[in-house]
Amino acid sequence: MTIVDLLENNARLYGSETALVELNPEQKSKRKVTWHEYELVQPNANAPARREITWSVFNERANRFANALLSRGIGKGNKVAILLMNCIEWLPIYFGVLKTGAIAVPLNFRYASDEIKYTFDLSEADILLFGPEFIGRVEDIADEIDERHLLLYLGDGCPSFAESYPSFVAESSSANPEIPLTEDDYAAIYFSSGTTGFPKAILHKHRALIHSCRVEQNHHGQTHDDVFLCIPPLYHTGAKMHWFGSLLSGSKAVLLKGTKPEYILDAVSKEGCTIVWLLVPWAQDILNALDAGTLKIEDYKLDQWRLMHIGAQPVPQSLIKHWLTYFPHHQYDTNYGLSESIGPGAVHLGVENVHKVGAIGIPGYGWQVKIVDEAGNEVEGQQVGELCVKGDGVMVCYYNDPEATAKTLKDGWLYTGDMAMRDEDGFIFLVDRKKDVIITGGENLYPVQIEDFIRTNNAVSDVAVIGLPDERLGEIAAAIIQLKDGFTCTVEEMDEFCKALPRYKRPRKIIFASVPRNPTGKIEKPLLRKIYGADHLVDAQNKS
């Protein structure tokens, strides 16, 4: 079985039921129907723009795109790059690619022109499908893309250098193309975050995708009655693989465009959402708004909301404890994974283990985990080592990069580059990225531990700890601290607060500034090191 079989099953069993809803709170509803005659547009002109499709239409739309691709000779062995913001067309397009046997290649919507061209070339894609937000960036590279490749445009006002998507699918059949697929067929190429240069292309089989469906439902128990609120970008494995729980259960999902606290609670309330996956900044923003009184729980219908889970980054204990004061009935889970392990779930806390908040948890359903030293030997007790995972969700390879593949895949184990340790109960705690460890005076500092402590300060909204060069100690820890709106704090006050840490763990430089995060919520530490490493040469004696 592959995930395209799941879509066919849902269309057969739940054809007339809602599969996807798109909400855009920053755009008001239009009364006229768009070029998809089967889209439903909310008639209330004062409401957020809302579109929805049923499982039957979802499947038909995927079939139309698949058949159009096949008519152009795109099938097994070909690749289709997708460069779209979250929208109701995104997933049917993705499934249309898969139904041909071709490989889907989702691209990061933040890519600049050179990154789009680089990833398009690295993946050896045949088609680039893009939306209106990317016209300028694609136009910059259009002349460099060989005429044998197709630029396909989804939106109004098709540029002259591309072909219109509506025209492309207009005459194609809505019937299932019935291309035989197995779990061993290649399915998708995802890209790494690119924190050490241009991103790597991560190749996955259908086996990995269907495995992620099973992992997600096993962890979070999606039923047909659940409603999943999806906010993160669909190009990333995290959002899509959590949605796979909805795919497996044939349940409704809501694609929310916007991350403001009021947008999230309003969507949960009006769409009856029961499961919400948040990133740390969004959860913190909701708590800040509730604390400030700008949001009031009693203004929303939230009783049906049963699960809040977080992934993509370490989660501060203080945040979840604070969350449960407002939402004491919520189940909570945290999920760990990488694009190389088809996203979340290789390790997860488990909704029954809220007493272990702070840990990333235990091996996920169908996953094996080990922690190893530099020689690849498993560490004993509570020692720190590199986290390795093994299971059906592990990538095939870094596409066209055998050297990087050999460094990351060893005997079926994926070496994650994350430093971790187990506690006495066997729960795994993420210590830091291997490359983010700060070595100061021969002592290893793990920034996550320092960040978790600083976040307990009530004035702190976000924090990132990085290493800065130092002549005497090699590196020192610097804390970039973003304060909550309306709060103040001085360097001296933060220094005093940090005296509760062991002396060697105290940041030797405090910088009050914004903490940049990428679309998946991860702190952009390479950017911070670039900004502050060059511009702030640190004298170790500025803190003694």
Quick: pLDDT tens for 399-436: 999 999 999 999 999 999 888 999 999 999 887 666 77
- What's the CATH code of the domain at 92? 3.40.50.12780
What per-residue confidence (pLDDT) applies to 133? 94
- pLDDT above 90: percentage of residues in the chain: 66
43 located within any domain: yes
Where does a domain end: 192, 219, 246?
219
User: Would you state the structure tokens that stand for residue 534, as one six-digit string?
Assistant: 């060059």
Q: Who's near 355: CB < 8 A, 6+ residues apart?
A: none
**Domain total for the chain?**
2
What per-residue confidence (pLDDT) applies to 474? 67
Give the angle subtended at the CA of 382 by the CAs of 388 and 346, to the nearest 5°: 30
Q: Who's near 328: CB < 8 A, 6+ residues apart?
A: none
What per-residue confidence (pLDDT) applies to 340? 94
Q: Given the structure tokens 């990428």, which residue do they identify? A: 518
Where does a domain end: 188, 219, 250?
219
Other CB atoms within 10 Å distance of the CB of residue 130: 24
- What range defines the domain where residue 53 resides? 3-219
Q: What pairing do the DSSP bridges indicate for beta strands 127-130 and 79-83?
A: parallel
- Within 123-255, residue ranges assigned H as helices are 135-142, 165-169, 206-220, 237-249
Quick: pLDDT tens for 301-315: 999 999 999 876 667
231 located within any domain: no
- What's the CATH code of the domain at 466? 3.30.300.30
274 located within any domain: no
468 located within any domain: yes
What per-residue confidence (pLDDT) applies to 437? 74
Lowest mean pLDDT: which of 6-10, 105-109, 539-543?
539-543
199 located within any domain: yes
Where does a domain end: 219, 250, 270?
219
Nearest Cα neighbor of 288 from 262, 258, 255 is 262
Other CB atoms within 10 Å distance of the CB of residue 174: 15
What per-residue confidence (pLDDT) applies to 196? 45
What per-residue confidence (pLDDT) applies to 442? 56
Return the C-alpha torsion angle 385, 196, 239, 289, nearest 10.
90
71 located within any domain: yes
Q: Quick one: average pLDDT of 141-151?
A: 89
109 located within any domain: yes
408 located within any domain: no
